[in-house]
Amino acid sequence: MRRRVVAVTFEGFQNLDLTGPADVFALASLIVGESRGYRLDVAAVRPGPVTAGNGVATLVPLALHQVTGPIDTLVVVGGLAVPAHVADGELVSGISRLAGIADRVSSVCNGALLLAEAGLLDGRRATTHWLTAQELGDRYPAVEVDADRIYIRDGNVWTSAGVTAGIDLALALVAEDHGHEIARHVARGLVVYLHRPGGQSQFSTPMRTAVPRNEPLRELQTFIDGNPTEDLSVPALARRAGMSERHFSRLFTEQTGVSPGRYVERSRADAARRLLERTGHPLDRVARESGLGAAETLYRVFRRHWRTAPGDYRRRFRSKQT
C-alpha cells in the first residue's frame, strides 16, 4: 500500500534537506508504481509560503496541528536556521506529537537538534552534520552522538548527516520498504551512491582543538602544523616548549583536549590530505612530505580518521587545476 511521508519545514530550512529525499521517494514511486509508492505531505507551524535559506519558497499546504495519522515516515529537515527554532515550542511540540503517530521518525542534517529538543533521541545513537555534532552532544547529553556516520538507525528513529546525506537516508528507507534492488535503481537514476564510501568526516575541516592558554603551547601548535616532517615526538616537543616530558604532556592535553601524539598524527594527516587535493604526487611522496613516513602509514592513518583510503579520497577531492 502507498506510504505516507510527512516532512516538517520552517523558515530558513535547507532546501536540499527537503527536495533530496522528496526526489528519492518520487522516483521510487515511479519504479514500483503509485499504489505501492510514496505520498509526500509538507507541513509547518502555519501553512503558506515557507522560504528556505537559499531564498526558494515552498508553498506548504498543512499546519502541523492539521496533520493526523497514519504516518509511515516523519522527516524533520535541517538548516542554518535550526538553532533559532529550537526554542519554538509550537514547532517542537508539533514534531513530538507527529512522532507519536509515525511508524518511523527521521531527521536530516541538524534537524536532529529538533528531535533531541523533543526528547526523541534520549538514550539513542544519532548523527548530524559534522559541524553540529559537538553541539548536539553538549546540549543533549542523553544522546550518543556518532559524528562520522552518514546515517544511523536506532529502533524506529533514523538520523542523517549533513545536507545531501538526506538522500542516503531516503535511499535506506526505500531499501527497507522495497528492497535493495529498487533502491539501487533509484540511486542510479539520480546518479548517486547507494552506499557512499567512507564517513562524513572525510568532508570535514581539520581537527579543531581548544586554543591553549599557555603561549609557548600556542606557538608549538603553529610549529607542528607548519613543520610536519620535523621530529615531533613528545621529547622533542617538550624540549622546544622548555618543559619536562611529563609536565608538557599533561599541560598540552589539559589545554587542547587531545594528547600531543594524537594532535601530531591528525596534523600530519591534514597535511597529507592537502597534498592529495592539490598535487599529483605518488602516495609514498605524500607520506614523506606529510611526516607520515611510508605509504602504509598514510593508508592506516587515513582509514582511522576518515574511514576511506587516500587514493579514493584523491579521486573525489583533487582539484582539477593540479
DSSP string of 13-63, one letter each residue: --HHHHHHHHHHHHHHHHHH-GGGSEEEEEEESS-EEEE-TTS-EEEE-EE
Radius of gyration for the chain, computed over Cα atoms and rounded to the nearest angstrom: 23
**CB 1, CB 35: distance < 8 Å:** yes
CA atoms within 13 A on the CB side of 25: 25
* Those residues with Cβ within 8 angstroms of residue 256's Cβ, 6 or more apart along the chain or in another chain: 209, 210, 212, 217, 221, 263
Query: Which residue has cell 529498487?
Result: 182
Phi and psi for 157 in degrees, rounded to 5? -110, 125
- 112 φ, ψ (degrees, to nearest 5): -60, -30
Cell of 263: 594532535
Our CA angle for 161, 165, 169, nearest 5°, is: 100
CA distance linking residue 11 with residue 44, whole number of Å: 9
109 is catalytic: yes
Catalytic residue among 45, 77, 108, 109: 109
Q: Is 131 helix (H, G, I), strand (E, B) or coil?
A: coil
| Strands, E assignment, the chain | 3-8, 38-44, 48-51, 57-60, 62-63, 71-76, 102-107, 125-126, 144-145, 151-154, 157-160
77 grid coordinates: 529537515
Q: Which residues are catalytic?
A: 109
